[in-house]
Chains A and B, each alone.
With several copies, the nearest count.
Chain A
């Protein structure tokens, strides 16, 4: 009889709180978005399963190991605890994914038209405007965001999953779940969020502007560029070195042409393995007490605002550059500066073709698109330097 009681009290029903039940619904909702709606499934499926697992009462998947007074381990702790501590708290998983992204990135379009880097800079305005918005809400007493929280929320607007996870795990790990979910969800929503803003800020004539074909880029340029980028980071913003360093490492493996084996693995097995565990690890921060609160709504709302401001800033700078540039610049490529590679570039292309069916903007938009990745990583470096030690 005792045993029956033990089994029962250890059962889920007896322990399940309303919060955990709600989080399971959140997990199922994320799965629905990922599987049926195609929302960044590579990350959202593992995050959703992690959410389900971490909210099972009594399963202890995110339990820390327990040591007795003599320092001997009495309980080894759960799998998700190790995944989080080893892979995410140390920053390794987002960095390894960033390396894989680097190995998938072609800087060719950016090198052919380097001034599109400025569009990648402009789109980061969404990040910092949102930081200011978040702290204002705090000052008004609506939410309770610290400057670290505000920075993590702003970085959602960077539209770069690994960067957002890297920054948040350093600055405010307790909101990692909400930030990661917002970042990946909005990246998936780029085709819905961006077009109205892009249309509102441009005239049909501007949208129809044809751009000159990009010049071919030599292999040497592609090899030297990542090194140049790393050199500038080393000189001016060392705190961006982990992100940018791993990104250019991946890109160098790709472009050097002498380590195809490693480049192939970085783009396939390795990034896939790490993606599985990164998702589970992020899911381990989706417990009811961390996610189900008023602040999460603020994070989701402000994240969306960050995306919108970033999109608008990119388009507006592209309009200004078009006025003063010797060669025409279609303002639609400005929105690709938020990154969300390659979705945002495709959106630019699609809206451009609506205005002029012969207007192929895809390659032109890839420049600001990858510039946005660099821009967000630089922004991340500034944030870690400025508020990481407060």
Chain B
């Protein structure tokens, strides 16, 4: 049970798994470094930021949605 095909499989496992581990290890280090740099020099207020997206919906959608909702509620009441 060997031959070129199995050898290719072995190579793929070796280099593939190697790449995955090396790459993600690098990413661990890079992420840790990034977080350190950001939290030291470019901190932001996570609470305030976390709330922000819910109000930054583009006005168009709510405008329309608002209208649909009002209609829907009106229809609902009529029933």
Contact = CB atoms under 8 A, between A and B. Distances in A.
Interface of A: 3-4, 7, 104, 110-111, 114-115, 117-118, 120-122, 124-125, 127-129, 131-132, 134-136, 138-140, 146-147, 150-151, 216-221, 224-225, 228-229, 232, 236-237, 257-258, 260-261, 264, 267-268, 371, 374-375, 378-379, 382-383, 386-387, 390
Closest 10 interchain pairs by CB?
A: A135-B9, A219-B49, A128-B13, A121-B24, A114-B31, A132-B9, A382-B16, A216-B46, A147-B8, A135-B5
A224 B8 CA distance: 37
25 contacts: A7-B19, A111-B35, A114-B35, A115-B28, A117-B28, A118-B25, A121-B23, A127-B16, A134-B9, A138-B5, A147-B5, A217-B35, A218-B43, A218-B46, A219-B46, A232-B30, A236-B23, A237-B19, A260-B56, A267-B64, A375-B20, A375-B24, A383-B16, A386-B11, A387-B8
Interface string B42-62: 111111011011001110110
Nearest to B35: A221
Nearest to A381: B19
Given A268-B64, A382-B15, 9 more contacts: A118-B25, A128-B13, A135-B6, A139-B2, A147-B8, A236-B23, A375-B20, A379-B16, A379-B19
Contacts of B21: 118, 121-122
A378 B30 contact: no
A121 B25 contact: yes
A147 B8 CA distance: 7
A217 B50 CA distance: 10
Contacts, number: 159
A57 B4 CA distance: 31
B15 A139 contact: no
B44 A219 contact: yes
Contact of B38 (A7, A117, A218, A386): A218
A260 B71 CA distance: 14
B79 to A, nearest CB: 17
A9 B31 CA distance: 26
Contacts of B38: 218, 220-221, 224
Contacts of A258: 56
A122 B50 CA distance: 32
Contacts of B9: 131-132, 134-136, 147, 150
B13 A132 contact: yes
Contacts of B66: none
A117 B25 CA distance: 8
Given A118-B28, A218-B43, A228-B30, A139 B13 contact: no
Q: Which of A117, A146, A387 has the most CB of B within 10 A?
A: A117
B78 interface: no
Contacts of A379: 16, 19-20
